[in-house]
A and B are shown apart, each in its own frame.
Chain A
Amino acid sequence: MASEKPDHDGPDRGLSGLPGGKPKYSAFALARQAMQYHQGWQRAWRDAQPQDEYDVVIIGGGGHGLATAYYLAAVHGISRVAVVEKGWLGGGNTGRNTTIIRSNYLWDESAAIYEHALKLWEGMSQDLNFNVMFSQRGVLTIAHSEHELREMSRRVHAIRMNGIDSEILGPDEIKKFVPIINIDQTIRYPVMGGFLQKRGGTARHDAVAWGYARAADDLGVDIIQNCEVTGLRRNGRRIVGIDTSRGFIKTRKVGCVVAGHSSVVAAMADIRLPVASRPLQALVSEPIKPILDTVIMSNAVHMYISQSDKGEMVLGAGVDKYNSYAQRGSFPVPEHMISAAVELFPVLSRLRMLRHWGGIVDTCPDASPIISKTDVEGLYFNCGWGTGGFKATPGSGHVFADLIANDRPNRIAAPYALDRFQTGLLIDEHGAAGVAH
């Protein structure tokens, strides 16, 4: 058992920097542009027009889709790839999440994929020549009851068995780590303890989409925005192309990474997925001086908080209770989350809210994603990330590209196949994934 180490050492990160010849970003480039009043910056990716045919088409220009396209080109050498996006890059959940990154999941299957992602995060800015502002400021999950604390220590042991860093903290250690937290034992949900993953943290979510887009474009990938998929064309059991608002595109491989709209696109190929589309809400306060240099999560009161580099307090809630495609949530959810935040951090009570938004997440019955082939040959789905997809962006793209290129899942992706809902081999991560991010 001990010899079976998870496969997350040294993932094949593909090519580093921008080998395609695009001008690189650097301190020198910045200085040179400063002398020219910043008039000489080139656009980060071409405004590509759809060609007649591609080897692979990725539907969905969010972080996961762009990462998939990048790794298809960088690791597998497939550069006749198009990413079609109905809106603009990163305009969906990639630009709506609260940017939390961690890999402290309970089960081995989850540890493998999320740690694979975390390893890729650690080298991402260099690989993409784009500063994604990955900040390993730590992610602290707090417990509010004796039972939760016990369950947490079980989880920490499981995480450490998988070679991933995690440690239990008592209330006093938490107070030392996060001076603004209220550890008074008389509040409704007192801080009884918590656990910390120091390698966790945050990243700039837009930069992740832009960085992958720029690096993929550098390798010849066409990024086609404002192009909505209207149909999946099949010949018998095999995919032969996609119909879009900008015409038909011929291809024999389609990777679908559309999050909240997965069921809608799947229905175009008569495929049913076990996902439910729900709103997930978040908000930011007005910017203030730095008071919180880590990420705090609480599963019991459904709240997670960090402070952005601009100074805004970034807060996120749990999913809404009913299905929706409306990209807006219902009011009681953020109200509940704010009341929890103010009890834990009384210092926030007079902050004003700056923006509030919702995104549509595709939740799975076992709170784990689907990375899978389908009954239609050449059609692949990467969906069901639910509330926690952002942290997995590079790992998800990496293994999905591998699945598409080789037409078979690798060791990390295999447990996430669709047939687990028939065999019953679920990866139940409600404990670890139920709330955040």
Chain B
Amino acid sequence: MLLITCPHCGPRDESEFSCGGEAHIARPLAENNLTDAEFADYLFLRDNPKGLFLERWRHAAGCRRWFNMARDTVTHEIVEIYPMGSGPASQAGKAAHAASWRRDTAAEAAAKPAPKARAKKEQVS
């Protein structure tokens, strides 16, 4: 049973929230340049760590706004709650973010408008 502090409404019971799963998954912009396996990383594969997990939550029965949470999947300790669109601020949260295999995927690289990719496109056209 979790007591979750909504950044907008304050501490509330877990039953008011819905969990949106892994946070910081960016949709690849140039998906046509990805192989099926690389796109599957974005579409189906989810991090499933035993330990600190960065995930998205929504205050579904309250303000209905999304936020991020760094939570331990063994102790259920909530280490940090931080706004959408930003990264974790705590040391443990930063380490978990950097350690995720997703940081090295082609899908994540394709989520950023990389100057290199743009140059390649110009060559083709």
Chain A interfacial positions (CB closer than 8 Å to B)? 261, 263-264, 272-277, 321-326, 330-332, 365, 421-424
CB atoms of A274 and B45 under 8 A apart: yes
Q: Across the A-B interface, give the 8 residue pairs with the lowest CB-CB distance, nearest first.
A: A263-B48, A322-B19, A274-B44, A421-B44, A332-B15, A422-B36, A422-B40, A321-B19
Q: Which of B19, B36, B41, B48 sits near A423, CB closer than 8 Å?
A: B36
**B55 to A326, Cβ gap below 8 A?**
no
- B75 — nearest CB in chain A belongs to which residue? A326
Interface contact B45-A324, CB-CB below 8 Å: no
Q: Given A274-B44, A421-B44, A421-B45, do A323 and B74 touch, yes or no (CB 8 Å)?
A: no
Is there an interface contact between B44 and A264, defined as CB atoms closer than 8 Å?
no
State which of A276, A321, A324 has its C-beta within 8 Å of the C-beta of B18.
Answer: A321
Kindly list 20 other residue pairs between chains A and B, CB separation below 8 angstroms, not including A274-B45, A321-B19, A330-B2: A261-B50, A274-B40, A274-B44, A276-B21, A276-B46, A276-B48, A321-B18, A322-B71, A323-B48, A324-B76, A325-B50, A326-B74, A326-B75, A330-B14, A332-B1, A332-B15, A421-B45, A422-B36, A422-B37, A424-B36
Q: Are B53 and A323 in contact (CB under 8 A)?
A: yes
B96, chain A: closest CB distance, angstroms = 13
B33 at interface by CB-CB < 8 Å: no
Contact A326 B44 (CB under 8 A): no
Selected contact of A277 from candidates B1, B18, B48, B76, CB within 8 Å: B48
Contact B73 A325 (CB under 8 A): yes
Name A365's contact: one of B44, B55, B71, B76 (CB within 8 Å): B44
Per-position 1/0 for B93-111, Cβ under 8 A of A:
0000000010000000000
Q: How far is the CA of A150 from the CA of B43 in the complex (A)?
A: 31
Known contacts A273-B48, A274-B46, A276-B21; A323/B73 CB under 8 A: yes
Contact B73 A331 (CB under 8 A): no
Minimum CB–CB distance for A370 against chain B, Å: 11
Nearest Cβ on chain A to B106's Cβ, whole angstroms: 13
Binding site for A on B (CB under 8 A): 1-2, 14-15, 18-19, 21, 36-37, 40-41, 43-46, 48-50, 53, 55, 71, 73-76, 101
**Residue contacts A-B, CB under 8 angstroms, 22 given:** A264-B50, A272-B101, A273-B45, A274-B40, A275-B48, A276-B46, A276-B48, A277-B48, A277-B50, A321-B18, A322-B19, A322-B71, A323-B21, A323-B53, A323-B55, A324-B76, A326-B75, A326-B76, A330-B2, A332-B14, A421-B40, A422-B37
List of B residues within 8 angstroms of A275 by Cβ: 48
Q: State the CA gap A264–B50 with chains docked (Å).
A: 7
User: In whole angstroms, what is the CA distance A324 to B1 when docked?
Assistant: 12
**How many angstroms from the CA of A322 to the CA of B1 in the assembled complex?**
11
A331 to B13, CA, bound (A): 11
Closest CB-CB distance, B30 to chain A, in whole Å? 18
User: What's the Cα separation between A324 and B45 when bound, in Å?
Assistant: 17
Query: With a CB–CB cut-off of 8 A, which chain B residues contact A274?
Result: 40, 44-46
Bound form: Cα–Cα A270–B102 in Å: 13
In angstroms, Cα B78 to Cα A113, docked, is 40
Q: B55, A322: Cβ atoms under 8 Å?
A: yes
Q: In angstroms, how far is the closest chain A Cβ from the Cβ of B59?
A: 14
Chain B residues, CB < 8 A from A322: 19, 55, 71
Q: B110 to nearest A CB, angstroms?
A: 16
Report the Cα distance A261→B74, complex, angstroms. 12
Beta-carbon nearest neighbor of B17 in chain A = A321
Nearest CB in chain B: distance from A361 CB, A: 12
Residues from chain A with a CB closer than 8 A to the CB of B49 are 263
